[in-house]
Structure 1
Amino acid sequence: MAETQRRLSGITGGVPLDRRRFLRVLGSAGGLAAAGGLASACGGLQESGGSGGADVIRIGYVSPETGPLAPFGEADQFVITAIGEYFAQNPIQVGGTSYPVEIIKRDSQSDSNRAADVAADLIGNAGIHLMLVSSTPDTSNPVSDQCEANGMPCVSTVTPWQPWYFGRGATEGTRFNWTFNFFWGLEDVEAVFADMWDQVPTNKTAGALWPNDPDGLAWGNPQTGFPPAQAQRGYSIVDPGNYPNGTQDFSAQIAQFQAENAEILLGVPIPPDFTTFWRQAAQQGYQPRIATVAKALLFPSSVEALGDLGVNLGTEVWWSPTHPFTSSLTGQNAGALADAYTASTGRQWTQPIGFAHALFEVAAAAFSSVEAIDDREGLAQAISQLRLDTVVGPLDWTAGPVPNVAKTPVVGGQWRTGTDTPYDLVIVSNTQNPNIPTAGTVEPLR
């Protein structure tokens, strides 16, 4: 019981780094763990149940709790604790038998190599039956790749489907055997941002901040990313080129945006990098009329770090307390789930709450569709056919847009000075999803 609680709270440590890397090599070699070879290689582990037997459903969960992507994982411990308490009272029924659930949390530390390492350890050492992973391609892609190589069912989220799908080497029609994703796509956020831009008079020139990471490469792709999509809408993109994460001087980008009079700012930087950019932009006299910045501006903490410079900055909104959806597990609607987070933590709601919760909705539905908890093929098949109404909206893996992907809605918001909090995220664009209510209209930065 003590070990179960220790894992549930996410404190369990990993194996030494050299061993994790050893496991990672085994995993990339093509499914050794799934075939049971890892058991003999690493000391008698069972094929599916690990060292703890097959009497407990073990779910691995990987996300960034520390490092520059830490805001994405801020709500994970709340969700895992709440879901753990729910499963303690409501065990999952598999093949007519009730099973307790153990959630084994690992921190990717915002590092792709670390994400792959801890995924290999969960598969090879922890005896998990299903992997869940969240938050940006930097985490979701390496974890998904480990699961695909090792025959481990895996569900990822908070990663746009193009970087997850094409970024892992897929082509049109490719079907992964073990890995699945639910989130929106670039086509959706392109439409949301364009609708926000259309509401502010500009010269239709957007300066782009594209980091040299999977998101930045996908969003800035000249054939399949933002440039061709927004060109069709009459907008042009000023692209200074991809910059490395952790850049400390954005003077070159700012100078180019000023020289080409980019009245719109667009990008998908990590939170610390946008804070650096936006402060330097203010110091150097660059102020666009509207800014729609993905990733960096999703979280209250990121905007609060900007002080007064955060007013009316825009971003995509994929979940909020006013989203009209309800959990298939707990029956909580989005507002109740957000309120529970604030009551438990004392912090303002944040978008990943709903998607972390929805991962466990998918997990429970998948296990309920098979006859044995170690039926990996059955779990993968169940997810591939799953249709489920969740707290982030309806999921349908039979609908596409490509195999292994289910889409979720996205709208647009701006940060406004709050009453009880420093900033509130106000939904201002719902053209793509009118069932999600707005609470204001787009306001220019100047």
Structure 2
Amino acid sequence: MTKMTFTRRSMLRNGIAASAAFAAPTLIGTKARAQGREIKIGFVSPRTGPVAAFGASDDYVLDGVRAAITGGIEINGTVHPVTIITKDSQSNPNRAAEAASELILEDEVDLMLASSTADTTNPVADQCELNEVPCISTDTPWDGHFFGRGGNPAEGFTWTYHFFWGASQIVDAYTSLWDQLDTNKKVGLLWSNDSDGVPLSNETTGLPPLFRAKGYELVDAGFHEPLSDDFSAQISKLKDAGVDIVSGVFLPPDFTTFWVQAAQQSFKPKAVTVAKALVFPTSVEALGDLGSGVSTEIWWSPGHPYASGLTGQSSADFAQGYMDQTGRQWIQPTGFKHALLEVAIDVLKRTKDIDDPESILTAITETDYDSIVGNVNWANGPVKNATTTPVVGGQWVAGDTYPYDLKICENQYAPEVQVQSDFKPL
């Protein structure tokens, strides 16, 4: 730690330690336990801006977790109240960095959490690494998070740990879908020119070499600026190349523009399987009839066989609770937002010295936790600071309660997740 940070924190914590010595015990059940100091968790997520859909279920998740820890959490025989302080990254990396800095320097959080696209997780993690604050993040492909921050697998980072799927898992899921169709194995790729699209387009660590290794020929239509309004050039290139499949990375509004213009220009591939944009039901509904049959990755759903280690809720019950409370269809980030918080609570409970950031860091590295999105264990790699969670492939089809339902159509690398439907061509 820097001298300034260490001195500030040590003064604060020495004061807390002195006051805690005179704290009256609190009665929980039949056992008296000391009342400890307040623990602060920072939580940074995009609530507004182009990727605000990723934060749409934040309130539901936070309400449930706060209710579960309303009496505090026990650490080494002492019960500590926990405050979760939220900040909106506004879908902007500069604002995400500012939010993290505020939480570190003004709120003096003990543990930082960040989620939902590299524009949030990367700058937050960088601030935590700089200020030596323990940080856990999720909902960004691990490769984009790690390599997008200049990570070196031989060294890694010290203070920042991440869990989510990676590029190779996406390729496994996508090609497992496409292999069910009769195609020419030509894939047209389009990339959003942002902190998610750029890393996944990388010819060394991104999707392209992995698609080729699976036997697919690629036609790269290049980068497009976020919130583009004209994809004519890219569509013409893909039509001329005769691609049967379209993939890549889009913001939700960009894919809507692209897919509507593709229909207008009579471009009709057999499959379109896109990361990020097609995760959300609202994005598919915006396509109208053109939404039927589009496909994407599925990282969490009501059909996933995992339960929360904090509340005991199954994935199905947790998703239904969101729909009952909000009247909106379940969304994939909901599971990962909850998992991020339940992993954080587990880490804090196992911390040997809550006043020592390095002790919290040690508890993070020793995590082996079964969450609502599956097991989280950084000892399993693939690099020091990242661990993976399961992902399968799915397709949007006409729904019953809602306009479209996302059905699981392949589970080759996550057989515990049940397949719900065959994959069909557009």
CA contact (8 A) 2:143 2:205 kept: no
Percent of pairs with identical residues: 47
Provide the secondary structure at the position in 2 that maps to 1:84.
helix
Provide the secondary structure at the position in 2 that maps to 1:241.
strand
Aligned residue number for residue 23 of structure 1: none
- How many Å separate the matches in 1 of 2:128 and 2:372? 26
Structure 1 residues 65 and 343: alpha-carbon distance in aligned structure 2, compared to 1, 3 A threshold: same
Aligned residue number for residue 137 of structure 1: 118
Structure 1 residues 33 and 430: alpha-carbon distance in aligned structure 2, compared to 1, 3 A threshold: farther
- How many Å separate the matches in 1 of 2:278 and 2:260? 14
Aligned residue number for residue 127 of structure 1: 108
* Structure 2 residue 82 is matched with structure 1 residue 101: yes
- How many Å separate the matches in 2 of 1:48 and 1:190? 52
- How many Å separate the matches in 2 of 1:373 and 1:253? 53
- CA-to-aligned-CA distance 1:245-294 (integer Å, 9 cap, x gap): 12111111001001101110001111111111111111111121001101
Q: Report deviation, 1:85.
A: 1.1
Q: 2:358 aligns with which of 350, 372, 377?
A: 377
- CA-to-aligned-CA distance 1:78-126 (integer Å, 9 cap, x gap): 101111111104x211121111111111000000000000000000001
Aligned residue number for residue 30 of structure 2: none
Q: More strand by proportion, 1 or 2?
A: 2
- How many Å separate the matches in 2 of 1:33 and 1:67? 35
Q: Which 10-residue stretch deviates more, 111-120 or 202-211?
A: 202-211
Q: 2:232 aligns with which of 247, 251, 255?
A: 251
Q: 1:179 aligns with which of 160, 167, 171?
A: 160
Q: 1:205 aligns with which of 186, 189, 192?
A: 186
1:211-360 to 2 correspondence within 5 Å? 211-360=192-341
- How many Å separate the matches in 2 of 1:147 and 1:48? 24
Q: 2:48 aligns with which of 66, 70, 76?
A: 66
Structure 1 residues 70 and 86: alpha-carbon distance in aligned structure 2, compared to 1, 3 A threshold: same
Q: 2:132 aligns with which of 145, 151, 156?
A: 151
- How many Å separate the matches in 2 of 1:439 and 1:83? 30
Structure 1 residues 47 and 441: alpha-carbon distance in aligned structure 2, compared to 1, 3 A threshold: farther
For structure 1, the 5+ residue unaligned runs are 1-29
CA contact (8 A) 2:353 2:360 kept: no
Q: Which letter maps to 2:415?
A: P
- How many Å separate the matches in 2 of 1:47 and 1:71? 42
Q: Report deviation, 1:37.
A: 6.0
Q: Report deviation, 1:397.
A: 0.8
Q: Which letter maps to 2:66?
A: G
TM-score scaled to structure 1, two decimals? 0.88
Q: Report deviation, 1:32.
A: 6.8
- CA-to-aligned-CA distance 1:411-445 (integer Å, 9 cap, x gap): 00000110111110000011111110011010100
CA contact (8 A) 1:34 1:47 kept: no
- How many Å separate the matches in 2 of 1:136 and 1:195? 24
CA contact (8 A) 2:336 2:373 kept: yes
* Structure 2 residue 408 is matched with structure 1 residue 427: yes
For structure 2, the 5+ residue unaligned runs are 21-35
- How many Å separate the matches in 1 of 2:15 and 2:228? 43
Structure 1 residues 425 and 47: alpha-carbon distance in aligned structure 2, compared to 1, 3 A threshold: farther
Structure 1 residues 319 and 141: alpha-carbon distance in aligned structure 2, compared to 1, 3 A threshold: same
Q: Report deviation, 1:223.
A: 2.0
Provide the secondary structure at the position in 1 that maps to 2:47.
coil
* Structure 2 residue 426 is matched with structure 1 residue 413: no
- How many Å separate the matches in 2 of 1:193 and 1:38? 48
- How many Å separate the matches in 2 of 1:424 and 1:31? 51
Structure 1 residues 231 and 94: alpha-carbon distance in aligned structure 2, compared to 1, 3 A threshold: same
Aligned residue number for residue 5 of structure 2: 34
Q: Report deviation, 1:220.
A: 1.3
- CA-to-aligned-CA distance 1:213-232 (integer Å, 9 cap, x gap): 12211221122222211112
Structure 1 residues 185 and 47: alpha-carbon distance in aligned structure 2, compared to 1, 3 A threshold: farther
Matched residues, number: 409
* Structure 2 residue 77 is matched with structure 1 residue 77: no
Aligned residue number for residue 361 of structure 1: 342
